Structure 1
Amino acid sequence: IELIRGNGEEGDNPHVWVSVSAAIAQVRNVADGLAAIDSVNEKKYHTNAGAYIVKLETLKKKMHDGLANISSRDIITFHEAFPYFAKEFNLNIVAVIEREPGTEPSAGELAETINIVKSHKVKALFAEPQYPAKAAQAIARETGIKVYALDPAATGPVSLDAYIRIMETNLTVLQKALK
């Protein structure tokens, strides 16, 4: 998996799983790693990984097809969770609301983001379900754009199909927001 560098001293962006292609690579890597330390169950690991990868490949195609004809590709995200996703699905992140993890944007940063919304004619701003949307709502009030939620699959209920359901919801949200 090719990592995306963070800004400044942040290091590499860790949110690789938000890309479906990278999630597929992770599933393969986990199966290979488990098989290497537990050869008795190697076939089970690879069989299970293969079955899940088929589901992820189907999801990836659905998402590529579903985002192929959106009219706007410029987006603003809440924090740096979506660069891998944006790269995979040909979206352009023109601004990030929370530039430093865990810190609210300054008044100057909010003003800069508002100017970016106006100059790029951004259609939608994306908050995340696990964070307060106060800054996103302030930008929306000043610009008139809508706030939507994109989920980086970092929190929430654990279930066998959680990742796929989250990504399908993200697809629906993006189609609605960027039409």
Structure 2
Amino acid sequence: MNVRGKKLSIFSSLLIVLSAAFIVMSLFFPWWKMIFFAPQYPEGLNIIVYPNKLDGQIDIVNGLNHYIGMDNFSEETFPELTYLTYLVGGLAALTLLTAVLRKKSVLYGLIGLMTIGGILGVLDLRKALHDFGTNLSPTAPIKIDPFVPPIIGHNTVANFVTNSVLGTGAYLLIAAFLLLLIPLWKDRK
């Protein structure tokens, strides 16, 4: 086997470095958000999720959710926000190490790790949305049927239409993952 067959090309290594940069950049942008529209809020209310904090009109949304018996959204109810930055930083470091080592086997491992992390992240968000929408207080002033907001898409509860969308940070992570796949195709044998 020739040397080229044992190592990824320099071009592939540069793509992996770019992937690491996208992973780091994702830390500075929202990963996901929910936008709530109602006649009394035509401009919309937001819950914006960064990897380390919540932003948006959280207090107003919590005040409204009180009427249907939903728990408050807060950074305390999402413990992932306390350590997710470190996990993402570690992933970026592993990605850079993969670029330096230039081994396909290491790249396969990294892609597997990112796939598992992505699946776990989606399942965690799905569980949180399920818990918030189905654990409604029976003593709430307004009675509604339990519901599960979608991860992506829209949902209607009473007079509120909710749109759930990916943020720029999520798109950067998707781009980082796709960049890792290119070397597998480019340096195939």
Specify the TM-score bucket, using the shorter chain as the normaliser.
Answer: under 0.3
More RCO (CA 8 Å, sep 6+): 2
| Structure showing the higher strand proportion among its residues | 2
TM-score using structure 2 length: 0.26
